[in-house]
Each structure stands twice: as structure tokens, then as C-alpha cells.
Amino acid sequence: MSQEPFSAVDVIATKRDGGTLSDAAVDWVVDAYTRGVVAEEQMAALAMAILLRGMSIPETLRWTEAMLASGRRLELGDVGAPTVDKHSTGGVGDKITLPLAPLVAACGAAVPQLSGRGLGHTGGTLDKLETIPGFTTTLDTAAIRAQLRSVGAVVCAAGQDLAPADRKLYALRDVTATVESVPLIASSIMSKKLAEGTSALVLDVKVGSGAFMKDLETATRLAQTMVDIGTGAGVATVALLTDMDTPLGRTAGNALEVAESVEVLAGGGPPDVVALTVALAEQMLSLVGRDGEDPAAALADGRAMDRWRALVAAQGGDPDAALPAAVHRDVVTATRTGVVTRLDAYAVGVAAWRLGAGRSRKEDPVSAGAGVVWHVRPGEQVASGSPLFTLHADEPARFAAARAALVDAVSVAAVGPGGTARPLVLGRVG
């Protein structure tokens, strides 16, 4: 048995005492943990030390590179267009990837979107797409490259060999109360995104009740850390800080959000979903030198819809097939008349989760048709007895728990001005 160059105990102690881990120590501990040489309890202790003591930007970049080196990296240099990707930190009603990827492709860039599944109150892009009959989210590298050349966009699951260290560490953080560490969040996200081999990246960092980052200061710190990691790794990276106090659009739930995304691609859809899709598209196109393209025009003239249909068909789906619908519905009505001043994103996300649209554990199934439709947004009038929410579920027994989550989700003031709405885009980093 060969001698290891470091001791896990010494690495833990260095960070526990507020020291800086050397590049060699970072490389070793990530690799040794992936190989099973560093035990789960040792990595748990190190993760807690990082949570409490933090990591510098150079340390965090090296940690990200070490996780990236634990697997392979896609090579996408010959797909015929500049590559650019988007990552969202997750929210409620966040279906932006669905209209965004074909829209950016319609404007001449290639979008290799490797996405994930939902967990807890936030939805997952793969769960949404798999409600389309026949759609597959499992593609090998050859298929990804071929589809980028022919369609310009692909939305699929990341392979098991991309940043495997992150997959192992993510599961450990989830059960050791170390998820909140900004360096570990940033390196987790960026190791997976850098493994895609894209030349540019736009980050959508959500802020508010329905987001992982509740306040603007912490969200900005996360955004800056990820931008620093991306640029340090040679990938053009910017971040938008966007509102998640209010859920996006009018729907939360897998098939419900696909239907809403198709409305956007058809030139309609909720104004906030359209605005954020266009804003992110503009950032993505700017990073790859396609500033002259007009994404709003590509939505309006049908080019984005054409790419969507081509993407769905290329991945085995039927773009004309009916989407699954939940068996049962329940309507929650307003108890007073006035102006809606607040619609809490977290409460809506929890309700959708309880209806069956989300999962508590990664292995749990999800209901394709379950979810929540909200009929009012902040600034809009509501009358007593009129619908606030329509709940969709396959099992009517789920309605009571979902209703309980929504008891305080909406605030209504006496009829009058709704006040100044919080802007959708709160800031930009990079």
C-alpha cells in the first residue's frame, strides 16, 4: 500500500484553526475522498470547518478544479457555434431553461444545458421535460455533440463521470448541515458547469423567500465567488441577481410549467417569465459576441418555437402530444377584497411539493401533473370569494397539507395603490 502524501486529520486541523489549505492539500483531499481513502466522517469534519472558517477565492478555485479533475470534461469545440450555458440556483416556478435554451440557439449560439432534478420546494428541469411523452434526458457525449450541431441546444442529465467528487460531497453536505457554505455551494455548481466544456456561462442567482439565498448580501457573495471561479478557469462568466420572493409566472409543477413555457415560445406567456428569459438570453449572447441578435424578436417570429420543437423531437419527444394532467383539482379562494401586496414563493413551492410535484429524497418519484396555478400576483386586484390558487393532484388526500402551506401565502391590502413592485433583476456581477 502506497503512502499518502497528506493526513486527513492534519488537513482538517489546518482549516479548523483558520489556516489556508495549500493547492497540493486540496488536490489530495478531494481525490482521496473520491477514492475512499478519506472517510465520510473526516470529510464531514472538513466540510464543517470550511463552513465555519471559509475559504479564500484561490482556495475555492483550487477546490473547484480538484472536483472537476475527479472526472472528465466534455470537449465541445467543434459544434459549429460558440457555446454558452445558464445555471439557476433554483426557485419556484423557475421554468426559464425551457424557453431560454431554444431561444439562444435560434440566435446563433450553442447551448449545452446539463440540468438536474428537483429536491424539496424547488423544481427540476429534467422532471419537467420528462412529462413530454417520449422525451429522454439521458444522452451520451456523441449524441450531445450531434444535437448541438443540428439543433443548437440540448437539455439533458449530466453523466456520472462529470465531477463525481461533487456528487459524493453533495450528498454528504445534505446530511451534515453544511449545505449553506458559500465556497462549497459555489464549487459544487461551478465544477459541474465547467465540466460541460462551455466557453461562457451566465448565472441566475435567485434571492428571496423561495430561493436558497434569502438576502441580497449573501446572494451577491455567492454570485461574486462563482464569477471569480469561472473567470479564473478561463470561462467568461457573469451573474444576474434575480427576485424569488414572488414565484415566476403562474405555475409551479412539472407539466404545468412545460405548458407555460410553450406559451412563452409561442409569443405569449407571463410577462415576468418572458422578461427574465430575454434578459438572460441577452447576457448569454453578449458573452459569445452575438450582441446584434434580438432575442425578443426570435420569440415573436417563431424561430425559438421552431428550435424547441426540433429539440424535443431530437430527444425522442413528441412536441404535439398532450401533456399529462392531474386527476383532481381544488380551488383556494380569497377571504377579502383588495390589492395583492405579496405572494410568497416559498409557500407556493411547499404546496406544489406536498401535492406531489417535488420530492423529499433524490430517489422519490414525482407526479407529472401535480402542482399549483396562482391566479393573482402582487399589484393585482382580488375580490373576496374569487380564486387565488388552483391545486392539481393525483391524490385528493394531498390537498389539505397543500392548503395549510398556503394559509399565509397571500397578503391583501385595502383597495388602493399596490406599491412599488420589487424589480425582477436586482443586480449584475461580472
Point out the residues that are catalytic.
87, 166, 173, 188, 192
The whole-angstrom separation of Cα 338 and Cα 276 is: 28
For 200, the grid coordinates are: 461562457
For 41, the grid coordinates are: 466522517
H or E element at residue 45: helix 40-53
- Answer whether 25's CB lies under 8 Å from 11's CB: yes
Beta partners for residue 45, in sequence order: none
H or E element at residue 307: helix 303-314
Nearest to 50 by CA among 163, 161, 172, 164: 172
The whole-angstrom separation of Cα 376 and Cα 371 is: 16
| DSSP 8-state symbol, 159 | P
Nearest to 140 by CA among 124, 154, 126, 159: 159
Say which amino acid occupies 14: T
Say which amino acid occupies 195: A
The whole-angstrom separation of Cα 71 and Cα 74 is: 10
